Amino acid sequence: MAKASELRLLDDEELATRGAETRQELFNLRFQLATGQLENSARLGRLRREVAQVLTIQREREIEAAEAYQAEPGPPGSPGRGVSAGAEEESQ
């Protein structure tokens, strides 16, 4: 299992791949648990945690990107990206 700091070093594509691989492994372990073939049940918890870490990091990056986009000024004469057209009309 990777530490969160190690996962943060991955780029978006690598992080998505890591998340998909981890979810697939978790699925396989759940299948082994259901069939009585699972030897190390502690691995389930570790994989669930890693999936949660990957999803958390992905969400943090989405929020950062959205905030950066809204902070950018729009074209001259426009209300800006952070203000919707409906909100501009209400303020006038």
Confidence at residue 89, expressed as pLDDT on a 0 to 100 scale: 52
- Give the pTM: 0.74
Distances (CA, A) of 62 to 56, 57, 75, 90, 91: 10, 9, 23, 29, 29
Residues 11-43 pLDDT 10s: 999 999 999 999 999 999 999 999 999 999 999
Residue 85 has pLDDT above 70, yes or no: no
